[in-house]
Chains A and B, each alone.
Chain A
Amino acid sequence: MADAPEATDIHRTRVENPVVEARGLTMAFGSTVLFRDVTFQVAGGEVFVILGGSGCGKSTLLKLLIGLYRPSEGAIHILGEDMEAAQGAARRQLLSRIGVMWQSGALFGSMTLLENVMLPLEEHTRLPRAAREEVARVKLGLVGLSDAANRLPAEISGGMAKRAGIARAMALDPSVLFLDEPSAGLDPITSAGLDQLIKDLARDLGTTFVVVTHELQSILAIGDRCIMLDKQAKGMIAEGDPRRLRDHATHPTVRAFFRREAA
């Protein structure tokens, strides 16, 4: 990786073999353009943050990256494969190598946490049932939910649901984990615990994280690099190390964001 500083707040980083790559992404709903020309690369093992204010298209960008939406223009490569071109078995194979934690947890209400985590293992591996249970217990243990394995999603708190969501996303030991607003709605202590978990998992398991958030403390705590989207600019207004952006940003919106000022 080599930094190529520019006059703007966009400090692009060239990445060899990027795990996630977005090239010139434009998303429009009818004639309304949400963002245009979003380009970035994510290196293996890094925690990459997509940030921005409400309504700037962060969550839409995440849905583009995981293939739920199709971009109006541009291309997405995950683990070197074109997300749009991958169909059938190739797409299934690609999907088994990524994990997604949804903002609400999106746990299946009729299943216990253990069963939630076992579901992807059942679909994608040939592990015997006892082994699936053992593996699922490891994932729940990784996020500190061993003792809640037999509880239903309705019986756990919001923070636990987020952690269970991460455990389920990690069921197949994916190379990339996409997290949508992991800290939203959590108290500072739970939120800090979740940040620590993300850092530990990235360090110990080498998992790449792409995190959508607007929680400033989380961004500074976990982010190796970030991009910032802006509603007015309809695209990216910053890219780089979040701590560096906090201290040296020139764009007024980026400065306001990192200094918690009214724009």
Chain B
Amino acid sequence: MSDTVEQAGFERDGETLRLRGALVTRQVGSIWEAVEKAARGARRLDLSAVSSLDTTGAALVLRSAEVAEGAAVEGASKPVAAVMDRARAALAAPRPAAGDARLPFVAGVGAWGVGLVKRLLVSTGFIGETAVMGAAVLAHPRRLRFNDLLRHLDEAGLRAFPLTLLLGTLIGVILAFQSSVPMRQFGAEIYIPPLVGISLVRELGPLVAAIILAGRTGSAFAAELGTMTVNEEIDALRIMGVDPMAMLVLPRLVAAMAVMPVLSLLMDLSGLLGMGVVMGTLGFPPALVINQLQQWLTLGGLVGGLGKSIIFGLAIAGIGCRSGLSAGRGPRAVGDAATAAVVGGIVATVVLDGLFAVLFYRLGW
């Protein structure tokens, strides 16, 4: 089948704009603006030399007639006229009404505030629902789906081990190496192990483990539950009388709370190992490094760090599940839920860490 079509063209003859050739999608792009310009002031659009026309060509003819302020369209052959009629009817259909006007500033701020309060109320409801479900499971532990819990422990915990080990070691190396330069000026390199050790055990270990959990697991929870929400699987569960909180949320919360102290401890140990390697290269024997750590690290500091990591896990998993369950419709909903889970998880972790810092200070830990 031949692919060649007659070249599209036009000429202005007095008050007549004469179009010719094949006015088809592939051709009209190059002449559209010139035809529009030539149509100004024309009183007749002559289509007698148009050999073929598709709906894009028809749109050009109709646009030219509009520019010429109602010029008569003449001379169209029967097939060309049929396409013209179809396109004319298509354009005559009512167009969408203009969208809602933007609210004035004060009303806009008010609407934003109301929206914020509504979201807070929904979040509070979620926390309440989770607490009630948690209490119910404590009374009837068989309601917790053990197989799901194992799957989440594997995905959130075991599979995060390599990344945690890598990041922990590198953070230990970097901290020790960077602090060695100023410490050397004061002859205080011997204090690098307590500096890195206390930083890791009290703050960095739980914090970086929480960031790993938010990035890997919080987003995965939101994406999985978000997809289920979009596919109406959550509604199906509710209709079947299965509580989505018990089936979907609780195993994830318990898994996140269980893996966080393990990830934090792993982060602490790998960081200390990295620091030990740097100290070795600086000429300090391992026994000296261990001795320093024994002297400065306290059980309270370690337990505090691991304890708060459990709360970080709860917050990250809760925010991830909540983002997924409140996902909207459409393909962007899942992406938005995953983003909200990661951002919310990291912000919540840092805010909680600040609160723990104040609390531990008051308790004298």
Number of A-B contacts defined by CB within 8 Å? 109
Closest to A77 in B: B1
Contact residue among A135, A151, A204 (Cβ-Cβ distance under 8 Å from B83):
A204
Q: Which residues of A contact B83 (CB under 8 A)?
A: 204-205
Q: In the complex the two chains form, what is the Cα distance from A140 to B93 in whole Å? A: 10
Which stretch in A23-31, A122-130, A227-235 binds the other chain? A122-130
**Interface contact A154-B329, CB-CB below 8 Å:** yes
Q: Which residues of A contact B99 (CB under 8 A)?
A: 150
Q: Which residues of A contact B331 (CB under 8 A)?
A: 109-110
**Interface contact B332-A110, CB-CB below 8 Å:** yes
- Chain A contacts with B in 82-122, Cβ cutoff 8 A: 93, 96, 109-110, 121
Q: Which residues of A contact B216 (CB under 8 A)?
A: none
Q: Which residues of A contact B95 (CB under 8 A)?
A: 137, 146-147, 149
Known A131-B63, A134-B63: A205·B96 in contact at CB below 8 Å: no
Q: In the complex the two chains form, what is the Cα distance from A249 to B28 in whole Å? A: 48
**Interface contact B54-A150, CB-CB below 8 Å:** no
**Interface contact A79-B3, CB-CB below 8 Å:** yes
Q: In the complex the two chains form, what is the Cα distance from A150 to B96 in whole Å? A: 7
Is B29 on the interface with A (CB-CB < 8 A)? Answer: yes
Q: In the complex the two chains form, what is the Cα distance from A148 to B91 in whole Å? A: 13
Q: In the complex the two chains form, what is the Cα distance from A125 to B89 in whole Å? A: 24
Q: In the complex the two chains form, what is the Cα distance from A95 to B328 in whole Å? A: 34
Q: Which residues of A contact B30 (CB under 8 A)?
A: 126
Q: Which residues of A contact B54 (CB under 8 A)?
A: 173, 205
**Interface contact A151-B33, CB-CB below 8 Å:** no
Q: In the complex the two chains form, what is the Cα distance from A135 to B55 in whole Å? A: 8
Minimum Cβ distance to chain B for residue A145 (Å): 8
**Interface contact A126-B29, CB-CB below 8 Å:** yes
Contact residue among B25, B60, B86, B87 (Cβ-Cβ distance under 8 Å from A172):
B25
Minimum Cβ distance to chain A for residue B80 (Å): 11
Is B56 on the interface with A (CB-CB < 8 A)? Answer: yes
**Interface contact A17-B1, CB-CB below 8 Å:** yes
Contact residue among B33, B56, B92, B96 (Cβ-Cβ distance under 8 Å from A173):
B56
Is A170 on the interface with B (CB-CB < 8 A)? Answer: yes
Known A137-B91, A138-B90, A148-B96: A127·B55 in contact at CB below 8 Å: no
- Chain B contacts with A in 35-92, Cβ cutoff 8 A: 54-56, 58-60, 62-63, 79, 82-83, 85-87, 89-92
Ordered by A's residue number, 28 sampled pairs between the chains whose C-beta atoms are within 8 Å are A80-B2, A109-B331, A125-B26, A128-B32, A131-B32, A131-B60, A135-B55, A137-B59, A137-B91, A138-B55, A138-B91, A141-B87, A142-B86, A146-B91, A146-B93, A147-B95, A147-B96, A147-B97, A149-B96, A150-B96, A150-B99, A170-B55, A173-B25, A200-B86, A204-B82, A204-B83, A204-B86, A205-B86
Apart from A146-B94, A154-B329, A205-B54: 12 A-B pairs, beta carbons within 8 A: A110-B332, A121-B56, A131-B63, A135-B59, A137-B59, A137-B91, A138-B90, A140-B90, A141-B91, A141-B93, A147-B97, A204-B82
